[in-house]
A and B are shown apart, each in its own frame.
Chain A
Amino acid sequence: MENVKDIVLDYVKQEYLEDGDDREIKYDTALITGGFVDSFSMVSLKVFLETKYNISIPDDKATPEAFDSVNNIVDLLKGFGVN
C-alpha cells in the first residue's frame, strides 16, 4: 500500500505542475518558498488532505511553513494521527 509520503508527493506533482513543467519535486523540495505553490492555491492542498484523511486542519496549523515540503506536511499529518 502506498505510504502517506508518496500519496502527498503524487498529489502535489499532479496538482501543481503544469503540463510540460519538468521541474523535479522531492520529499524535501521547498514548495512555497520554491515557487511551486503560492499562498492562495495552498488551500487546494488543505482541501485534499482534509478530504483524503477525514480530518480538519485549523487555520493556525495550516501555515506556509507547515505546507512548505512533503516532509513538513507528513509531520503535520502525524499530529492528526495520520501515519
Chain B
Amino acid sequence: MSYPQDIRSIYGTQLDELRKQGIFKEERAIFSPQNADIEVEFPIGSAQKKEINMCANNYLGLSSHPDVIKAAHEGLDSRGYGMSSVRFICGTQDIHKTLEHRLTEFLGTEDTILFPSCMDANAGVFEAVLTEQDVMIADRLVHASIVDGMRLCKAHQDTYKHSDMAHLEDKLKLHQDKRVRLIITDGSFSMDGDLAKLDKIVELAEKYNAMVFVDDSHASGFIGKTGRGTHEHCGVVGKIDIITTTLGKALGGASGGCVSGRKEIVEMCRQKGRPYLFSNTVAPVVVSGALAVLDIISKTTERRDKLERNTAFWRKGLTEAGLIIKDGETPIVPVMLFNAKLSQDFAKTLYDDGIYAVGFFFPVVPKGQARIRTQLSAGHEIHHLEKALAAFTNAGKKFGILGKTKQEIIDMYGM
C-alpha cells in the first residue's frame, strides 16, 4: 500500500475546495424510524433534537408501517437474511418472482425485472436494449442516474428543453434515420415537482415511431387515481414501453428498483443488464416488505388520497403565507429562495425551529434557483403541517421575503 502525503493532499485540497464553495455535504444522524416525527443529531455528535421531517421520500408513510414491518419479519424468518448470490446463479427465490409479477400487475405492463436499486435499473437498461444504430432523446431535467445510464450506452444522445413538446418533435424529426428512437423522461421531476406530459409524449411517439421511457420513482404508489403512476394520471397505461421505478420511496422506502415494460425489453435486461447480472439480489426481507406495501395500496387508495389532501393544504398554506413555490400538484413542493446562501440559512432557521428540510443550490439545481425542497407524506397529520407552516412563515419574516417577488428577493440577496 502506498498512500504518501502528496497523494493524501490531492484529495484534501479537493475536499477543502468543496468546503470553501459551501457545497460540502454533511450527514445528519437520525435516531428513530423514518416518520413524520424524527429525532435528529446535526451535526453528528451534537444534542439530539425532535424534528418534523419535511424532506423524506416517504410519500405514503409506509416506511415504518406495522404491516410492512411484520411482513419483513416473516420474510426474514422464512427466507433468511441474504442470498449471497446474484439473481441468475442462486439468488432468485419464489418471492422475487412473485414481486416481479405483482409489480407488473400494479404498473399495468407486460413484465418486470428487479434491480438492486432504480439507480442500477437506469444504469443498465439503455445499454441492454440500444446500440449505436439508435438514439436516446432525453428531457434536460431527467435524474442523474439516467444521465449516467445514457453515458454507458453506445446509442446516439440528444436532449430537448424541459417538457417542451415542440422541441421534442423537432428532435424526433431530426433522428428519423435511426433504427430506434427512445424518448426518455422522468414521470415526476424530483427537483421541481412537475409532471411529464406523457399523453403528449405518447402522441409524438406514435407519430414519429419512437419508444417511451419513464422513470416514475417519484410517482409510483401515489400519482394517478389509484396511485399507479404518471402514466395513469395522463391516461396512457399500457402505452409506456419502459418504466423504471424504485421501492426506496413511496413503496416502502427500503431499497430495490425495477424495469417494467415490454416483455422483450425486460428479457433483454435479464440477459444483458449489467447491474442485474453482477450485483446481489434484493434481500428477502425487502422483497417481503414490498409485497406487503403492494397489498396495502392495492386494497385502498386511502393513503394516496390523504397525501393529496396534505399536498393541497401545504401548497395553499405556503402561498397564502407569501412564499414563492413552484406550481404543480405533486407532493414535491419547492420553496424558491434563488440565492444559495439564503437557502442554507433558511434551512438552519427551520431546523432550529423543529422543522427538518434541506436547501438545494447549484449544481444540484440551476444557478439562481436555490430552494428548500419540501416533500409531503401521508404520515403527516395536519398538526405537523400547521407547525411547519408557522416555522416557514417565521423564517420568511426573519429574512424579509414574505410577499416579495422573485426579483425583489434577488435584489435583496443576489443570485
> B81: CB under 8 A from chain A?
no
| Total CB contacts across the A-B interface at under 8 A | 24
Picked from B140, B367, B368, the residue with its CB within 8 Å of the CB of A41 is B140
The answer to whether A51 touches B366, judged by C-beta atoms less than 8 angstroms apart, is no
The answer to whether A35 touches B159, judged by C-beta atoms less than 8 angstroms apart, is no
Which chain B positions have C-beta within 8 A of A40? 138, 140, 147, 159
What is the total number of residues of chain A having a CB less than 8 Å from a CB of chain B?
Answer: 10
Complex: A72 Cα to B271 Cα, angstroms = 43
Picked from A15, A35, A44, the residue with its CB within 8 Å of the CB of B362 is A35
Picked from A35, A38, A47, the residue with its CB within 8 Å of the CB of B158 is A47
- Chain A residues 11-53 with CB under 8 Å of chain B are 15, 18, 35, 38, 40-41, 43-44, 47, 51
> B262: CB under 8 A from chain A?
no
Which chain A positions have C-beta within 8 A of B140? 38, 40-41
The answer to whether B147 touches A35, judged by C-beta atoms less than 8 angstroms apart, is no
Which chain B positions have C-beta within 8 A of A35? 362, 366-368
Complex: A56 Cα to B372 Cα, angstroms = 42
Complex: A38 Cα to B362 Cα, angstroms = 11
How many Å from the CB of A46 to the closest CB on chain B?
A: 9
Mask of B145-170 contacts with A, CB within 8 angstroms, 1/0: 00100000000111101000000000
Complex: A21 Cα to B32 Cα, angstroms = 45
Which chain B positions have C-beta within 8 A of A43? 157-159
Mask of B339-371 contacts with A, CB within 8 angstroms, 1/0: 000000000000000000000001000111000
Which chain B positions have C-beta within 8 A of A44? 158-159, 171
Complex: A78 Cα to B157 Cα, angstroms = 24
> B89: CB under 8 A from chain A?
no
Picked from A18, A38, A47, A51, the residue with its CB within 8 Å of the CB of B161 is A18
Q: Which residue of A lies closest to B156 (CB)?
A: A47
Picked from A18, A41, A51, the residue with its CB within 8 Å of the CB of B159 is A41
> B174: CB under 8 A from chain A?
yes
Which chain B positions have C-beta within 8 A of A15? 161
Q: Which residue of A lies closest to B136 (CB)?
A: A43
Complex: A35 Cα to B363 Cα, angstroms = 9
Complex: A40 Cα to B161 Cα, angstroms = 12
Which chain A positions have C-beta within 8 A of B368? 35
Mask of A45-72 contacts with B, CB within 8 angstroms, 1/0: 0010001000000000000000000000
How many Å from the CB of A64 to the closest CB on chain B?
A: 13
Decide yes or no: A51 and B174 within 8 Å by CB, A40-B147, A40-B159, A43-B159 being known contacts.
yes
Which chain A positions have C-beta within 8 A of B147? 40
How many Å from the CB of B54 to the closest CB on chain A?
A: 28
How many Å from the CB of A6 to the closest CB on chain B?
A: 20
Q: Which residue of A lies closest to B367 (CB)?
A: A35
Complex: A43 Cα to B174 Cα, angstroms = 14
Q: Which residue of A lies closest to B171 (CB)?
A: A44
Mask of B361-399 contacts with A, CB within 8 angstroms, 1/0: 010001110000000000000000000000000000000
Complex: A27 Cα to B171 Cα, angstroms = 25
Complex: A80 Cα to B368 Cα, angstroms = 36
Complex: A28 Cα to B171 Cα, angstroms = 27
How many Å from the CB of A61 to the closest CB on chain B?
A: 16
Q: Which residue of A lies closest to B144 (CB)?
A: A40
Complex: A18 Cα to B368 Cα, angstroms = 15
Q: Which residue of B lies closest to A39 (CB)?
A: B147
How many Å from the CB of A31 to the closest CB on chain B?
A: 13
Complex: A41 Cα to B366 Cα, angstroms = 13
Q: Which residue of A lies closest to B135 (CB)?
A: A47
Which chain B positions have C-beta within 8 A of A18? 161
Which chain A positions have C-beta within 8 A of B159? 40-41, 43-44
Complex: A15 Cα to B164 Cα, angstroms = 11
Which chain A positions have C-beta within 8 A of B157? 43, 47
Complex: A18 Cα to B366 Cα, angstroms = 13
Provide 9 A-B residue pairs closer than 8 Å at the C-beta atoms, listed in order of the A residue.
A40-B138, A40-B140, A40-B147, A41-B140, A41-B159, A43-B157, A43-B158, A44-B158, A47-B158
Knowing that A44-B158, A47-B156 touch, tell me 12 more A-B residue pairs with CB under 8 angstroms. Answer: A15-B161, A18-B161, A35-B368, A40-B138, A40-B140, A40-B147, A40-B159, A43-B157, A44-B159, A47-B157, A47-B158, A47-B174
* Closest 10 A/B residue pairs (Cβ): A35-B367, A43-B157, A41-B159, A44-B159, A41-B140, A40-B147, A47-B158, A44-B158, A43-B159, A43-B158
